[in-house]
């Protein structure tokens, strides 16, 4: 059996159209966009076109799009950039944010910002009313991801953004996982800052963007030549920006159709696994979820061996564990959702993408249950 990739939430293959579009920027259009001469102007043109195209998809102005080197950097810029602009003001974020937000928030706390974490319910959805308690004294930023990357739970962003706006508090959303899958427009929802990333939607790794609503002030993290309106110094990655724009447009164009197709596949996979794996737990089942993510727990199976076994059998998936050398701390997201360790531990995230086929889902439905059976039997030994 050909190995099956079900880790699209981690990253996606670069699309051929994206690669095509990037090549000239890795070839004859090599200029530095800041240069006065024609090489510079040609590159600058491409950069600004890319910026405008991405802005259009979001309903933003081009001047409101800042290119960064990825989603993590965008998150750091949003959190620390805001916190350093209003030193001492609290930072608020949900307890289930990606580590890029949580760690940046902790860094802000080290610099003197009181940190408040918004709780979530058992389906991984932020408790909106909890926000009201932390809007005074005014935080430097409130950050809640558009949809959670581990379990897929879609957050009540409109509600949260509106309440923040009402209190005149800057609202940031990490939309790295949701962009290209959900309808996201900053002219419809009053978010002030939005993080997005290219490699989650068929673009290259190493490029992302932060939407910064006009009027919102930030301290830059990377200092230097004043690029990106003084918010992100460094000679721009024009090839990356162009790739990002092409990937974003394609994703946008195909969004509804792909989401409908993948949602169906995901639901079929979920139903089959629930039927065939006794006591399987579907995490965040009660929430509205991204159509591409299925996070399940297999109580009784050894945490650590779950992914290893799947990999050996040709299924690529992931889980929420931390540590670069292979640790087994259960996902902070599942733990915050209230799952006991024996359920949070043996969890796996299967995520679908454009290239996922019916046949692959059929194969996973065949292979997964007996593997879990074996794992459970051996785990008790």
Which residue's CB is nearer to another protein, number 185 or number 374? Answer: 374
Residue whose C-alpha is closest to residue 195's, from 256, 91, 186: 186
Residue 340, φ and ψ in degrees, nearest 5: -65, 160
Residue 153, strand partner residues: 289
Which residue's CB is nearer to another protein, number 280 or number 305? Answer: 305
CB 377 → another protein: shortest distance, Å?
9
Q: Cα dist. 28→23, 39, 44, 46, 241 in Å?
A: 9, 9, 14, 12, 16
Residue 208, strand partner residues: 68, 197
d(CA 171, CA 189): 11
Structure tokens at 361: 């889902």
Give the strand pairing for 65-68 and 171-174. unpaired
- Catalytic residues, by residue number, are 323
Q: Cα dist. 190→159, 168, 185, 210, 309 in Å?
A: 9, 11, 9, 15, 44
Which residue's CB is nearer to another protein, number 296 or number 375? Answer: 375
CB 334 → another protein: shortest distance, Å?
18
Residue 196, φ and ψ in degrees, nearest 5: -140, 160
CB 277 → another protein: shortest distance, Å?
16
Q: How far is CA 257 from the centre of its chain?
A: 21
Which residue's CB is nearer to another protein, number 170 or number 372? Answer: 372
Which residue's CB is nearer to another protein, number 219 or number 373? Answer: 373
CB 327 → another protein: shortest distance, Å?
5
Q: How far is CA 223 from the centre of its chain?
A: 26
CB 106 → another protein: shortest distance, Å?
16
Q: Cα dist. 11→203, 320, 381 in Å?
A: 9, 15, 36
Binding residues vs another protein (CB under 8 A) = 302, 304-305, 308-309, 311-312, 323, 325-328, 374-375, 378-379, 381
Which residue's CB is nearer to another protein, number 36 or number 323? Answer: 323
CB 340 → another protein: shortest distance, Å?
18
Which residue's CB is nearer to another protein, number 222 or number 309? Answer: 309
Check: CB of residue 193 under 8 Å from CB of residue 162. Answer: no
**Edge-first strand listing for the sheet containing 65-68:** 65-68, 208-212, 193-197, 171-174, 141-143, 91-94, 115-118
Task: Tell me how far apart the 2 most distant CA atoms of the chain are, in Å.
Answer: 71
CB 312 → another protein: shortest distance, Å?
6
Q: Tokens 């110094």 appear where? A: 233
């Amino acid at each position: 059996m050909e190995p099956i990739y079900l880790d699209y939430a981690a990253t996606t293959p670069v699309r051929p159209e994206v690669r095509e579009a990037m090549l000239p920027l890795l070839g004859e259009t090599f200029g530095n966009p800041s240069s006065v001469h024609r090489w510079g102007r040609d590159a600058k043109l491409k950069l600004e076109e890319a910026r405008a195209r991405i802005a259009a998809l979001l309903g933003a102005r081009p001047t409101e799009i800042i290119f960064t080197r990825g989603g993590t950097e965008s998150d750091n810029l949003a959190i620390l950039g805001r916190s350093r602009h209003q030193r001492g003001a609290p930072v608020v974020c949900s307890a289930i944010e990606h580590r890029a937000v949580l760690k940046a928030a902790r860094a802000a706390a080290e610099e003197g910002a009181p940190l408040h974490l918004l709780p979530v319910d058992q389906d991984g959805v932020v408790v909106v009313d909890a926000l009201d308690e932390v809007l005074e004294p005014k935080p430097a930023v409130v950050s809640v991801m558009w949809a959670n990357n581990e379990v897929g739970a879609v957050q009540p962003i409109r509600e949260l953004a509106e309440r923040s706006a009402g209190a005149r508090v800057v609202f940031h959303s990490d939309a790295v996982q949701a962009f290209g899958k959900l309808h996201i427009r900053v002219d419809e929802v009053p978010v002030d800052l939005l993080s997005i990333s290219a490699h989650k939607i068929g673009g290259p790794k190493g490029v992302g963007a932060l939407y910064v609503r006009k009027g919102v002030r930030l301290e830059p993290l990377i200092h230097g030549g004043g690029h990106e309106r003084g918010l992100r110094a460094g000679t721009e990655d024009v090839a990356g920006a162009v790739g990002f724009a092409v990937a974003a447009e394609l994703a946008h164009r195909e969004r509804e159709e792909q989401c409908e197709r993948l949602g169906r596949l995901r639901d079929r996979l979920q139903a089959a696994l629930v039927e065939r794996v006794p006591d399987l737990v579907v995490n965040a089942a009660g929430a509205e979820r991204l159509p591409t993510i299925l996070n399940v727990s297999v109580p009784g199976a050894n945490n650590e061996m779950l992914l290893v076994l799947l990999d050996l059998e040709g299924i690529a998936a992931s889980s929420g564990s931390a540590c670069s050398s292979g640790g087994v701390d259960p996902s902070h997201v599942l733990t915050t959702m209230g799952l006991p360790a024996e359920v949070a531990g043996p969890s796996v995230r299967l995520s679908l993408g454009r290239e996922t086929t019916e046949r692959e889902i059929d194969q996973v439905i065949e292979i997964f249950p007996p593997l879990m059976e074996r794992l459970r039997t051996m785990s008790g030994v």
